[in-house]
A and B are shown apart, each in its own frame.
Chain A
Amino acid sequence: MTFIIACASSKGGCGKSTLAVAIGGVYASNGSSVLLIDADTRRRLEDEWYNPKTVSSNISVISTRSEDIAKAVEAQRDKYDVIIIDVEGSANWGLAEAIKAADFCLVPSNVSFQDLRDAQRVYDHVESLNSESKRYRHCWIVWNRVPPAIRSKEMTATMEEAVANGLRVIGTVHERDAYKAMFSYQSTLDKLRAGNAVPSAAKAESEIARLITAMHDELQKKAA
């Protein structure tokens, strides 16, 4: 049965599309079939990133309107191992629909209070959905664009405070060229790593693999 992930945030530019492509790429390079559903009206995944010549045949991309997300998921379910839904950055129907369809909501958040507020809002919505719905949806925050070398005091403080306040953080994605390069080269991390073409791709791939394993662990814990 298909594992459905939503990259969910009402904040534009927090890294939803980046995360969707990175995760999809790691799943695909490990043998899973992946469908990316692009529900952003700008169709960046389909128009700018996807290129059948450079992207693995394990990955497909379709674009839908926000109001058609549920229909698209229903129609494509079970044809793929993983479906990843990417939405546009606002608190609109698309986001609500993506959350509704998902097993797992990943909320990328930069380490700033503004981003965290948006993340918290999505998190709260999923919680209230869980209390009403017969199906449980996971919702976890992913720190994004964390500098790999030195963190400022504010940043460290914000991260610690967020966790102390009960925000559920599942992993960290660092600021790396490789994530941008996926779009520049219409590619995925495994390919950028090959031949050390982009120096940070190997590390990016490892941290995304860790994130995926962490998701699987949470699913297992809940199922047990």
Chain B
Amino acid sequence: MNEPMSRASLRPPSIKREPIEEDDAKLTELAKNNGFAASGGPSSPPEPNRAPPVISPQGQGQGQGQALSLRERRPPKEIRSVAFNCKMKPSVKARLDEICVERGISQADLLEELVAQYE
């Protein structure tokens, strides 16, 4: 499927770095003027990356990415599929399923997004 690109293009380029005399005081002053002097607060708000597997009863895939057991990440099958009232190529069905698994959402969620988009 989507093979990563050739190795050669992923080797970092060689950066020439002659020692240059930087006016450090000037660059520091610039950073200050641009508002980069305040001392920092914490970074990202704590998102529970390593919480135990969460399988919500509605199968809405709330636990996306947090499950440590890969199998359990899939919403249960009966909630995952929506009985689309039309004939659909198996490849399209498979792709839909793939999108849902990838995003940890059910097909019902996907449909809702689709409707919202065209409303």
Q: Which A positions have Cβ atoms within 8 angstroms of B?
A: 1-4, 10, 12-14, 16-17, 26-27, 30-32, 40-42, 44, 48, 66, 81-82, 88-96, 99-100, 103, 121, 124-125, 128-129, 132-135, 147-153, 175-177, 179-181, 183-185, 190, 197-200, 202-203, 205-206, 209-210, 212-213, 216, 219-220
- The A-B contact count (CB < 8 A) is 183
Q: A125-B36, A197-B70, A199-B101 are in contact. Are A152 and B2 (CB under 8 A)?
A: no
Overall SS of chain B's interface: loop
The answer to whether B36 and A92 touch across the interface, beta carbons within 8 angstroms, is: yes
Query: How many residues on the B side are at the interface (Cβ–Cβ under 8 A)?
Result: 56
- How far is A176 from B99 in the complex, measured between Cα atoms in Å? 10
Within 8 A of A (CB), among B12-54: 12-17, 20-23, 26-28, 30-31, 34-45, 47, 49-50
Q: Which B positions have Cβ atoms within 8 angstroms of A?
A: 1-5, 7, 9-17, 20-23, 26-28, 30-31, 34-45, 47, 49-50, 64-66, 68, 70, 73, 98-99, 101-104, 110, 113-114, 116-117
Q: A177-B65, A197-B70, A200-B102 are in contact. Are A88 and B43 (CB under 8 A)?
A: yes
The answer to whether B5 and A213 touch across the interface, beta carbons within 8 angstroms, is: yes
Q: A26-B10, A90-B38 are in contact. Are A149 and B15 (CB under 8 A)?
A: no
B64 to chain A: which residues have CB within 8 Å?
177, 180
Cβ contacts A to B, 26 pairs, < 8 Å: A12-B41, A12-B43, A13-B45, A16-B43, A30-B10, A48-B50, A89-B41, A90-B40, A96-B28, A100-B27, A100-B31, A128-B30, A129-B27, A132-B30, A133-B22, A134-B22, A135-B20, A148-B99, A177-B102, A198-B70, A202-B2, A202-B3, A205-B4, A206-B2, A213-B9, A216-B9
Nearest residue (CB) in B for A185 is B68
The answer to whether B11 and A199 touch across the interface, beta carbons within 8 angstroms, is: no
The answer to whether B36 and A93 touch across the interface, beta carbons within 8 angstroms, is: yes
Nearest residue (CB) in A for B33 is A128
Q: Give, as a whole number of angstroms, the nearest-CB distance from B73 to chain A.
A: 7
